[in-house]
Every structure is written in C-alpha cells, then in structure tokens.
C-alpha cells in the first residue's frame, strides 16, 4: 500500500524566493508510518555508532537483502552476521560512524554516512563516504544497498596497490572473495 498524499487545490507563491510552494496533506496513518520508518533507520545508525550489532540487526526484516561493493549481495542471516563481524572487529579501535541527510518517502529511503577507521591489514586510516538506499517492509529494513567509491576506498586502505588496481573488476572480485571468506570464518567460529 503506497503513501496517500492529497494535494490541496491552492498553491502559495513565495515572491521573495520566486518559488511556488505546493501545500500537501498526509493522512495521520501515513505520517506515523513515515515517522516510524525514519526512527528505524536512525536507530540502525545510532546502534552502528555504538558498535551494537544486535540493535542494528533488530532493524532488519527476516528476508533482508544487503549489497555493497566490498561484500557483494548478502541475504538474511549472512547480512546480519556481516554487521556482527564488523562491530566485533572494530571494538576499541577508534571506529567512528556519522550519518546525515536521512530522507524517507513512504517505505523507500536513503542516507549518507561516513566511516572513519584504521584498515587492519595495512594500518592505514580510511574515511569512507557511503550513500545508503533502503526499502522497508512491515516496519523493518528489507533491502539495504550501500554505495561507495571502491577506487577511493582502495587508495586509502591499500595505498599504491589500491590506486593501481582499485578500479578493476579483478580487484572487486578478489575483495569480495576475501570479505566473504572472513564472514564464513566468523560464522563458523560463532555457531
């Protein structure tokens, strides 16, 4: 069921800014649905900033589909375990997450977030700028897609090697193989 928005039959004109401003009315049911969905996404990022994986994954629908350049596409428990692994690996290491520009339109939303951390394999500082897109169902996140510049990330995380190889499909495949192997090992240890 989509969001019901009724446009009033009049428009206000803002002469100072030379813009036409349309007045919209949203039903109270839809207003609270949007408000609740916004709270779910905010809770996800607040939990991430606290490295609280269980609070994060509680925001996920059982049929979650997650995708990003580093892990590829993950479904269900694999997606939840990825966040558990990341949070566990970053405890007490100066990991910082900041989110902003949270936009939600019904059950579809987006946010921008930044991660600041030290890449463990090279001890290099990374500032990763990510754009996240979400789809919600039954008040939980069912689709989550994180997009970031893999070449920029690889330059920061791996230096010259990342600069030279970071744009290639070969690099992306190898990175996903490595991250999924780490995730598999994490899941085996935490059965």
Q: Which fold has domain 28-189?
A: Nuclear Transport Factor 2; Chain: A, (3.10.450)
Mean of the pLDDT values across residues 87-105?
91
Query: Which ranges of the chain does DSSP label H, i.e. alpha helix?
Result: 28-49, 53-57, 76-90, 150-158, 160-165, 169-189
- Domain range annotation of the chain: 28-189
Once rounded to an integer, what is the mean pLDDT over residues 140-164? 94
Q: Give the span between the Cα atoms of 44 and 19, in whole angstroms.
A: 36
Tell me the C-alpha distance between 9 and 88, whole Å: 54
As given in the structure block, the two tokens for residue 128 are: 């990763």
Rounded-to-integer distance, Cα 156 and Cα 70, Å: 14
C-alpha 161/C-alpha 189 separation (Å) is 31
Which contiguous run of DSSP H or E holds residue 54? helix 53-57
* pTM of the complete model beyond 0.85: no
Neighbouring residues of 27: CB distance < 8 A, sequence distance ≥ 6:
4, 6
Helix %, strand %, coil % of the chain (to 5):
40, 40, 20
Confirm if 135 and 107 have CB atoms less than 8 A apart: yes
pLDDT digits (tens, 9 = 90+) for 22-80: 445 556 666 777 788 889 999 999 999 999 999 999 999 999 999 999 999 999 999 99
Mean pLDDT computed over 103-107: 84
pLDDT at 40: 93
């Amino acid at each position: 069921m989509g969001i019901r928005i009724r446009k009033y039959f009049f428009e206000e004109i803002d002469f100072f800014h030379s813009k036409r401003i349309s007045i919209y009315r949203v039903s109270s049911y839809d207003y609270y649905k949007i408000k609740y969905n916004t709270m779910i996404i905010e809770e996800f990022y607040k939990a991430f900033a606290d490295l609280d994986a269980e609070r994060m994954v509680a925001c996920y629908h059982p049929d979650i589909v997650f995708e990003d350049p580093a892990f590829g596409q993950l479904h269900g428990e694999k997606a939840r375990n990825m966040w558990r692994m990341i949070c566990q690996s970053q405890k007490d290491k100066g990991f910082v997450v900041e989110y902003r520009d949270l936009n939600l339109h019904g059950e579809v939303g987006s946010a921008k977030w930044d991660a600041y951390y030290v890449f463990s394999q090279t001890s290099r500082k990374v500032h990763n700028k990510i754009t996240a897109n979400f789809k919600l169902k039954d008040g939980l996140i069912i689709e989550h897609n994180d997009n970031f510049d893999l070449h920029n990330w690889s330059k920061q995380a791996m230096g010259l090697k990342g600069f030279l190889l970071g744009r290639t499909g070969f690099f992306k495949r190898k990175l996903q193989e490595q991250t999924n192997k780490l995730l598999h090992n994490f899941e085996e240890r935490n059965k």
